[in-house]
Chains A and B, each alone.
Chain A
Amino acid sequence: MTKHRLRGRLAVLVTALAAVSVVLAGCGTDSGGGSSASSGPIQIWEGWTGEEATAYAHLVTEYEAEHPGVKVSSLYVNNDDTLQKVLTAVRGGSMPDIAYLYGSWAPNVAQIPQVVNLTQVVKQPGVNWDDFYAGERDVATVDGKVIGIPALVDNLAVVYNKKLFAQAGLPLPGPNWTWPQFEADAQKLTDASIKQYGTAYVTPGTEDTVWHWEALLWEAGGELLSPNNKQAAFDSAAGLRSLETLRTMAVTDKSMYLDPTDSAYANLFNSGKIGMLVTGPWDLSGFPNVDYGVQVMPSYPGSDGGHQTISGPDNWVIFNNGSARVTAAEQFLLWLTAPAQVKYFSMKTGDLPTRESVADQPSVVKAMDASLPGDAAFVANLTEVKQARPQMTMYPKISTVLGNMIVSVLLGQSQPQAALTAAAAQVNADLAG
């Protein structure tokens, strides 16, 4: 009996406690994001981790020290998740001031009315907009409107395992190498008895699958779409050639490890099980156990595509929370992306410099290469970025079609020509309708 009375009282007490806690929890800061008050910290959503996070935090502290009274409040959001958060916030009227958004989202993000048009801002003296690589500027500009400032740039090159090459008695890849040589090397580096592969490819069918292939398409001299973006152009000889390369390695030679989850290939390379990887500078720090080298992308003999590569720049995007906050956000971003800060960030993290003036400083590149071997090759490779993916809102749909096309060829489910034709038909239908 006593126990029940106790229990009843306990329930009342607990409920009261709950109510009080909820109220108290609210008595803390009301530092909600995106308040339309003209004062308050600059709200940034970014996805820096590890050394990038440390370097970024240092820069923020430096900015606040140089601008007393200005506060920058950063929130970590995994870059993959930022779009969901931003779209919800936009609908709810609670946007941040700045968000880090993938370049591939730019054409669609530009449709958000609250995204600030920075075209005039980047023309201001001292910004040196042209100092940013063309590939970055292309991705930050949608229909002539600049909607972002470059936050990150990268590109694809070939990272190879020197020891495996030596064991196979193969000469290391040279700057003029070709895809037939890559295929031959991959075959010789493959040893099924010890489960060693010449190369690898990611096959989730998402844009990750697609952009790796687009580099080959461009190297083969092909184009994705017609110049007016109205027709598919990839079902060409170049398209066929590039898909054949993949098919030879995946299906015929079986020299290509297929990674459907995008999670194993890097660790496999680090474990010495893969000879060559087409990947970017972000993976280099994941290879502490391998003596690796970096070489430009191979070319196709007889093609005018050369050794060009593909880049995936990302943007800082500003949202309109009132003119005072927009101005503050612009000031911060212009400072953050100024050459001095770009130099600091690149040297600390190994991320490629977003500005040519920084990448042209040999001391900078040398220092980057010393802390992250192979980085210099990726920096130099930035000059091989000759074009960008089509900047159009329909690109995600085209990407899905292409992803399925590539995966079906890699899995041996379809022949390259048939896959190209079917995909082109689908893309043309999507572009028309």
Chain B
Amino acid sequence: MLSSEHFAGWAFVTPGVVIIVLFGAVPIVWSAVMSFQSDNGLSPSTPFVGTANYRELLHDPVVTQAIQHTLIYTALFVPGTMLVGLVLAVAMNRKIRFIAFYRTAAYATMAISTISEAIVFIWLFDPSYGIVNYFFSLIGVPQQQFLNSPSEALYVIVAMTIWGWSGFAVVIYLAALQGVPETLLEAASIDGAGPWRTFRKITLPLLSPASLFLAVWLTINALQLFDEVYLSTSGGPLNATTVLVYYLYTEAFEQFNFGYASAIAYFLFLVIIVITVIQFWVGKRFTHYRS
């Protein structure tokens, strides 16, 4: 019985695993090798330099800045997106008029091309001509420099990406909300619990697997932020929006330091692993699987 479960386990996972290992794990190991080499991406000569790349990154001030920006960005983006997604999913989990339209609007934000998203947000946050500053002027808040300000640019990127990802969170939470049994909710209201209490005590715990999934997935993505930075600020102003993946991209394809870029990627890999493991460990305590 036991051996047949082992066999079944491996039989079921093999097709998917083969593909992921071949196209995912092998390139990752390959790149790990690259991180111990001096490689400019141009000539085929890539001599081993041991840990030189890693030692360099420990002393690179831009790496320190990039780590800070990446972590701050993630700490704002992940809870922000989850919250927006949850609120919208709860709002959309009902049979009112136009509900299909509202849901499609949320989903559509995932479908839009990043360049379109970037253009609109750059416009919205333009210090002189954008709607946000116009709105601020109406309510008496001083005009901000947004993408021109090293202290504000990262937050504009946070806003842009929360917008772009909230549709994903809505879709995940909507699917999860389907599994909240109506009878449980009815029983709670019969017992006299108000809607907010019911939500807190029944719905949220039942959503916890979805929340864990979202937290892990959004974090993994946030720590690898690239496209929005590439398409808008190019890491600026003055490295204010330089995050780790953007920095390693410029190191590889602008500075021709492939070995160094690989080392940065592996450093990031380590950071992501640690954070993900922590999330799973914390999640184990708070997640409630009905089985």
Residues on A lying within 8 angstroms of B by beta carbon are 83-84, 87, 90-91, 108-109, 111-113, 195, 197, 203-206, 257-258, 260-264, 268, 273, 393, 396-397, 400, 404, 407-408, 411, 413
Contacts and interface: CB of A to CB of B under 8 A. Distances in A.
A204 B235 CA distance: 8
Given A205-B238, A396-B256, A195 B43 contact: no
Contacts, number: 81
Contacts of A87: 41-42, 253
A108 B40 CA distance: 9
Contacts of B38: none
Interface in B114-153: 118-119, 122-123, 126, 128-129, 147-150, 153
A260 B153 contact: yes
B255 A404 contact: no
B236 interface: yes
Contact of A203 (B119, B123, B236, B255): B236
Contacts of A268: 129
Which bucket holds chain B's interface residue count?
Answer: 20 to 34
A49 to B, nearest CB: 15
Q: Is the interface of B mostly helix, strand, loop or mixed?
A: loop
A260 B40 contact: no
B44 interface: yes
B243 to A, nearest CB: 15
A90 B39 CA distance: 14
Contact of A264 (B41, B42, B123, B235): B123
Contact of A411 (B123, B129, B238, B250): B238
B232 interface: yes
A108 B256 contact: yes
Given A205-B234, A260-B148, 11 more contacts: A83-B253, A108-B42, A111-B42, A113-B44, A258-B148, A260-B153, A261-B118, A273-B129, A393-B256, A407-B238, A411-B149
A411 B42 contact: no
Contact of A111 (B43, B118, B233, B235): B43
Interface string B252-263: 011110000000
B216 to A, nearest CB: 29
Contacts of A400: 250, 254-255
Given A83-B253, A205-B237, A112 B123 contact: no
